[in-house]
Amino acid sequence: MKKNKFEEIKVYSEGSGVVTLIEPNLSVGLNKFGLYEESIANDETFNLNDKVESLLTFTNINCNEKSIAEELFNSDVSSSYDERIGYYRSLYVGHVAEGEYRKNASSGGVGTWILKELLESGEVDGVIHVKENPDKNSAILFKYQISSSIDEVLAGAKTKYYPVELSEVLRLVKEENGRFAVVGIPSFIKAIRLLCKQDKIFSERIAFTIGLICGHQKSSKFADFMAWQVGIKPGDLKSIDFRHKLDNSPADKYAIRMVGFVDGELKTIIKPKDDLLGQNWGLGYFKPVASDYTDDVFNETADLVIGDAWLREYADDPLGNNVVIVRNDTIDKLITNAILKSKLHFKKSDVEEVFSSQAAHYRHTYNELPYILIMNYLIGYLNLRRKIIFYLL
């Protein structure tokens, strides 16, 4: 692939930086819009590694989510398949009953809990997830890190609506022996699956993938915009909790907790999300272009999928609940045992209920994408002929 072609289409990249692991002439960094962007050398005739195109999640039609998932899960006799949510062994709705996992989580606490279980049981040696940047002098608030103790795992709880990239932490994985669980949004998990096909080291060391259901990504400007509305100017925000729970409020009526300098004084400000502009996810504020070109709602290539239970039955519970899709046998057994020991308060669910929790998200990302692709092709904005053909078949 030549530089000019890459530069033309990279706006559709998920920005994970995974591709830089197989092409030394590529790097990834935050651009002026607050989004991670891959960059290459300033030589117009420079050709990228032949493997690059196969590792780009937005161009590799021969390895789409469905084909990857089929390769991973179709041979499991305990698995079922639904066109909308993908493969599944078990489906649940509920929350963690033990400890303070739920209290300290964005919703039901299942994500942090399963990471703890995998680490505690010896299934993995480390967990790759997003945590606050330990470098407090950096303008970047969050980054992927490796946690190897329960306390470190607990420090990574909660959702972060903030851009991150994987290349730095995956280079550490390549240098360290061991097995790891990685947490990610759909496009990041797919990128890791594609990387595992290219590099045996990662296929051996990435033991479990924990997928999040993601409406869309946000740029770093989203955090700045939230903080600026309460008087914390860009550059003065030191930490942010995007999902601060409010007592006696419905699950979707959470607050934003921000710590930063206001007129030179360090302040902690908690503001209900509905009092801030930009919290309507349907408006897509600070959303990268790439988020409009993915249809993987239920993280189809992940071993375990966790999302908010946006269901009427659970709406009034301020502590929140999760929908859970299990695709991996080991994780299935951990969850079954935990239910029997009352560590998890789960009820068995079904495809329709799980789908209903993300129905609006599905309509936007899956049902509308063919139209977006065809219109862009017709106006000459982007030649994605192969992807259009894939949708029409």
227-245 pLDDT per residue, tens: 999 999 999 999 999 999 9
Q: What is the DSSP letter of 181?
A: E
Residues 97 and 201 in one domain: yes
Residues 83 and 205 in one domain: yes
The verdict on residue 374 lying in a domain is no
The string of DSSP codes covering 96-150 is E-STTTTTTSSSS-HHHHHHHHHHHTTS-SEEEEEEE-S-TTSS--EEEEEE-SH
Q: Residue 194's pLDDT is what?
A: 95
Q: Which amino acid is present at 138?
A: S
Which residue, 75, 60, 37, is CA-closest to 327?
75
* pLDDT (tens digit per residue) in 92-136: 999 999 999 999 999 999 999 999 999 999 999 999 999 999 999
The verdict on residue 207 lying in a domain is yes
Residues 183 and 305 in one domain: yes
The verdict on residue 78 lying in a domain is yes
Which pTM does this prediction carry?
A: 0.94
Q: Which amino acid is present at 106?
A: S
Alpha-carbon 329 to chain mean position: 22
Helix H segments across 58-142? 65-73, 110-120
Q: Locate tokens 């809990």: which residue?
A: 113
* CA–CA dist 227, 241 (Å, integer): 11
Which helix (H) or strand (E) segment is 212 a member of?
strand 206-212
Q: Hey, what are 384's tokens? A: 């994605």
Q: Residue 384's pLDDT is what?
A: 52
The verdict on residue 381 lying in a domain is no
The verdict on residue 388 lying in a domain is no
The verdict on residue 199 lying in a domain is yes
Q: Would strands 206-212 and 180-184 be described as parallel, antiparallel, or unpaired?
A: parallel
* CA–CA dist 327, 65 (Å, integer): 14
Q: Residue 3's pLDDT is what?
A: 75
Q: Hey, what are 232's tokens? A: 């914390």
Non-local CB neighbours of 359 within 8 Å, separated by 6+ positions: none
Q: Hey, what are 44's tokens? A: 């117009």
Residues 179 and 240 in one domain: no
Q: Residue 43's pLDDT is what?
A: 65
Q: Hey, what are 20's tokens? A: 């830089």
Residues 308 and 345 in one domain: yes
* CA–CA dist 106, 305 (Å, integer): 15
Phi, psi torsion values for 229, nearest 5 degrees: -70, -20
Residues 75 and 183 in one domain: yes
Residues 12 and 140 in one domain: no
CA atoms within 13 A on the CB side of 55: 24
Residue 182 sits in a domain of what CATH number? 3.40.640
Note down pLDDT in tens along the chain; length 393 residues.
777 778 777 888 899 999 999 998 899 999 999 999 999 876 655 688 888 888 887 777 678 899 999 999 999 999 999 999 999 999 999 999 999 999 999 999 999 999 999 999 999 999 999 999 999 999 999 999 999 999 999 999 999 999 999 999 999 999 999 999 999 999 999 999 999 999 999 999 999 999 999 999 999 999 999 999 999 999 999 999 999 999 999 999 999 999 999 999 999 999 999 999 999 998 999 999 889 888 899 999 999 999 999 999 999 999 999 999 999 999 999 999 999 999 999 999 999 999 999 999 999 888 888 888 777 777 665 555 445 444 444
Q: Hey, what are 141's tokens? A: 């608030």
Phi, psi torsion values for 93, nearest 5 degrees: -135, 135
Residues 271 and 296 in one domain: no
Task: Tell the burial category of 198 from Cβ atoms under 10 Å away from its Cβ (0-12, 13-18, 19+).
Answer: middle
* CA–CA dist 32, 178 (Å, integer): 36
For residue 95, what are the domain limits? Answer: 69-216+288-366
Residues 248 and 275 in one domain: yes
Q: Would strands 180-184 and 304-308 be described as parallel, antiparallel, or unpaired?
A: unpaired
Residues 211 and 224 in one domain: no
Number of domains in the chain: 3
Q: Residue 44's pLDDT is what?
A: 59
Helix H segments across 176-316? 186-198, 200-205, 220-228
Q: What is the DSSP letter of 21?
A: G
* CA–CA dist 389, 393 (Å, integer): 6
Q: Long-range CB contacts (< 8 A, 24+ apart) of 221-228?
A: 221/33, 221/34, 221/286, 222/34, 222/161, 222/162, 222/278, 222/285, 222/286, 223/141, 223/161, 223/162, 224/34, 225/277, 225/278, 225/285, 225/286, 226/256, 226/258, 226/271, 226/276, 226/278, 227/258, 227/260
Residues 87 and 212 in one domain: yes
* CA–CA dist 49, 384 (Å, integer): 21
The verdict on residue 114 lying in a domain is yes
The verdict on residue 391 lying in a domain is no
Residues 53 and 140 in one domain: no
Which residue, 70, 96, 99, 102, is CA-closest to 83?
70
